Structure 1
Amino acid sequence: MTHPTRRAVGAAAMALTLAAALGAAPTSAAPGRPEPPGRPDMDVRFATFNASLNREVEGELTQRLQAGDDQQIRNAAETLQRARPDVVLINEFDQAPGNAELFHDNYLAVPQNGAEPLDYPYTYVAPVNTGVPSGHDLNGDGVVGGPDDAWGFGLFPGQYGMVVYSRYPIDVDAVRTFQLFRWADMPGNVIPEGFYDDDAREALRLSSKSHWDVPVTIGGHTVHVLAAHPTPPTFDGPEDRNGRRNHDEIRFWADYVSPGQRSSYIYDDEGGRGGLEPGARFVIVGDYNADPFDGDSLDGAINQLLDHPRISTKVTPRSPGGPEQALVQGGVNLEHRGDPAFDTADFSEPPGNLRVDYVLPSTSLPVLDAQVFWPLASDPLFRLVGTYPFPTSDHRLVWADVRLPHRP
């Protein structure tokens, strides 16, 4: 979620490979934490980063990616270079043909301020709903058209998209996307009663962007990267249509990772039915725009994942900078019930700083460590997060290290 204005994502589809062979990119721990000597290849760092790589004008991000000298984009790239994830989802990335490669080649693969470059041989991008006209009056203003009547809020197709980068091969043929899944097809949904007309209610898609199941092959193992970016639970009226949609976008993954009847209603964009197979390893990543204690989301929205029996929450990503900024900024932050060490976003009041970005592994993936990239103000790398107006993003990168069993 971006404050105080709202932007969105659109659709420009491609699933591509940046190189044929797996690169051996160096790995390192986050700043301030020593690197374990000889970290095994089977210890894998998954991350999510709402990097604010979006612009108000269609094509502008492409121009800045081509130029290679945009300071905000350089900051985003350096943040990734400092955290060094093996697999990362980037939210709020304007989609257009070539943008994923341009960011990789002109920023990630280039040393930023002395940081080691990153090489991601594998990338996945697919269509999203934001910015795509729906043909319905979705905001109830009596007029059809404009960004608030797109399937997901957006000024143009491609705004606020998503991209997955990986050091490990992506099984593109096995990817499942759920861009077209209709909200009304979710049993027990919380669509607001009486707000949408019958045609709009029947047609409205659940995902404000999309839900992706991206299988990554790591040392003979498959890990399903479950990527999404539910709508902020704000920018609506008393019907709370966005808060309700946010709740059910989160619920989708809770159902998807539950074998049997609970996930049997799900269908993907190719017509495949059902959820994730029993025993499959997965990591849920993304900006879910919901805090377990504070903010505007429906009560219990994110707890649908945090309390799920197949999801590991034994280690919560934390930072030293979150508590410091909550204290310095004061206001509503001092009234929050959640631990500010777990905050991942620096929002203006209301709602104040929140935990909204998540890396949630399955219980079959032991978590070794997890952190939020939010240094103290005294840390030289604080310049990458800063305070409003933010030099990079109002969100912080979140990562978790998980261990996969070795295979001979």
Structure 2
Amino acid sequence: MRIRVLLACALLGVVVAQPAEATSGAKGGPAQVRFSTFNASLNRSAAGQLVSDLSTPDNAQARKVAEVIQRDRPDVLLINEFDYVPDNKAADLFRTNYLKHGQNGAKPIDYPYAFTAPVNTGVPSGLDFNRNGSTTDPDDAYGFGFFPGQYGMLVLSKFPIDRKDVRTFQNFKWKDMPGALLPDDPATPAKGDWYSPQVLDVFRLSSKSHWDLPLKINRQTVHFLVSHPTPPAFDGAEDRNGTRNNDEIRLWADYITGKAGYLYDDKGKRGGLERGAKFVIAGDNNSDPIDGDSVPGAIQQLLNSHRVIDLKPSSKGAVEAAQTQGGANLTQKGNPRYDTGDFNDNAPGNLRVDYVLPSYGLIPLHSEVFWPVAGSPLARLNDTSDHHLVGLSLLVLGW
């Protein structure tokens, strides 16, 4: 009877209140699964430095990151800003030297499955993307970065990843998105002309990459859709980063709603997610629904999708931080309880930029932002990154 009630709730999009602790169900039956995303700032300033730092179990930052993960205990986790190193080398070191060892009383956690892949950050284009007369700036890479793989992504999972059906969209060109919001040169009467035709012929939409990772959870396939759109800042009146951020978010919005016939992945397969497929979208989208510098309506492309459930994860720590830090936080229009990023107090202030969004057909149970209040013993973890982990527990039915 309980399963029938939960199934009805899933079909209607009703949120069922449950404890945060996630557990995996028996094989073939319902599984309570926790999905989390964490921009952990484990990027480094030079290639090879992350491997060096993770080669021993005593890097202070990595220990803090591991403890946050061990406290949250996700079954499936996206880590943003984890430098890409081939053959899962950095991922293996992080699992072995940090996650498998309890940090400050937290229980160890094991992820038998890991996925990482090349990203666009730091990959030289040979062209002058920012139009400053040089072709070798970090801004001239396909995604901002000082070396290939900087600010990469890592997915860790307790469930198998169906690698034969993984789709990546690192090389999809921005100009191939119909109605792309291309940046405009304000000094000319033409529209969408900041980038020359030569640049647009090679310019990739994804600043890192977009990955569709099919997870085998009992008898179900749940697609983990992950990305890390560029911040809508660090540009000029042309808003080249803001417009790119908007269309990076749009890629997933089109992908899940049957509007992605134009899209091709890195293997040449076209189109989006099949109708009725279950998914969880996760990542640092660098876009707040109300405040900040993103194009108006950018993140609403996902939040307002008829296929997506938004539980609006929150924390008391975010409310406290907005009050005590002041600055731009005092004039923002959005509710600070939903903030996930702890940014410059003068501008933009704290924002909601990190998301875990399940599809209808999955049963959401509980979600929150890991942002302890100042009086908590865990408040010492608040400076681990300028982002806070966002977690969501849900029920995956076994048929």
Q: Does the pair score TM above 0.5?
A: yes
Look up the equivalent residue of 1:109 and give its one-letter code. Answer: K
Amino acid at match of 1:148: D
Partner of 1:393: 385
Hey, what does 1:279 align to over in structure 2?
A: 276
SS at match of 1:102: helix
When residues 125 and 36 of structure 1 are mapped into structure 2, their CA distance, relative to the original with a 3 A threshold, is closer
Identity of aligned residues (%): 56
> How has the CA–CA distance of structure 1 residues 39 and 99 changed in structure 2, closer, same or farther, with 3 Å as cutoff?
closer
Indicate which of 341, 345, 351 corresponds to 1:345.
341
1:80-119 aligned at under 5 Å gives the runs 80-97=69-86, 98-119=89-110
Aligned partner of residue 265 in structure 2, secondary structure: coil
Q: CA deviation at 1:202?
A: 2.0
Structure 2: tracts of 5 or more residues without a match: 1-17, 184-191
Following superposition, the deviation at residue 158 of structure 1 comes to 1.6
Aligned to 2:361: 364
The 1:277/1:253 distance shift into structure 2, 3 A limit, reads same
Q: How do residues 136-285 of structure 1 correspond to structure 2 at under 5 angstroms?
A: 136-192=127-183, 193-259=192-258, 262-285=259-282
CA spacing shift, 1:187–1:168, aligned 2, 3 Å: same
Whole-angstrom distance in 1 between the partners of 2:107 and 2:199: 49
User: Following the alignment from structure 1 to structure 2, what is the Cα–Cα distance between the partners of residues 95 and 181?
Assistant: 19
Residue 339 of structure 1 and its aligned partner are, at CA, apart by 1.0
Scaled by the length of structure 2, what TM-score is found?
Answer: 0.90
1:353 Cα deviation from its structure 2 partner: 0.1
What is the CA distance between 1:146 and its match in structure 2? 2.1
Assess if the C-alpha contact under 8 Å between 1:125 and 1:164 holds in 2: yes
Distance 1:170 1:329, change over 3 A: same
How far is 1:34 from its partner?
6.0
What secondary structure sits across from 1:203 in the alignment?
coil
> 1:210-241 CA distances to partner (integer Å, 9 max, x unpaired)?
00000000011000000000000001111000
Q: Give the letter for the 1:380 counterpart.
A: P
Letter in 1 for 2:244: R
Q: Is the 8 A contact 2:220 2:398 kept in 1?
A: no
Counterpart of 1:72, as a letter, is: Q
Q: Which residue of 1 aligns with 2:289?
A: 292
- The 1-side partners of 2:270 and 2:25 are apart by 37
Cα distance in structure 1, aligned partners of 2:157 and 2:172: 26
Post-superposition offset of 1:194: 2.0
Instruction: Supply the distance in 2 between the matched residues of 1:38 and 1:242 (Cα, whole angstroms).
Output: 39
Aligned residue for 2:201, secondary structure, equals: helix
Q: Does 1:318 align with 2:304?
A: no
**If the length of structure 1 is used for normalisation, what is the TM-score?**
0.88
Distance 1:196 1:38, change over 3 A: closer
Q: Distance in 2 between matches of 1:74 and 1:40?
A: 30
CA distance in 2, matches of 1:263, 1:135: 30
- Aligned-pair CA distance for 1:46: 0.3
Structure 1 unaligned regions, length at least 5: 1-32
Aligned-pair CA distance for 1:198: 1.2
Deviation at 1:37, TM superposition (A): 10
Q: 1:263 to 1:37 in 2, by over 3 A?
A: closer
Counterpart Cα distance in 1 of 2:135 and 2:152: 23
- Report the residue type matching 1:393 in the other structure: S
CA contact (8 A) 1:140 1:195 kept: no
Q: How many residues align?
A: 367
Q: Please report how far the alpha carbon of residue 36 of structure 1 lies from its aligned counterpart in structure 2 after TM superposition.
A: 6.5
Whole-Å Cα distance in 1 between the matches of residues 57 and 202 of structure 2?
A: 41
Deviation at 1:61, TM superposition (A): 1.1
TM-superposed deviation, 1:406:
3.0
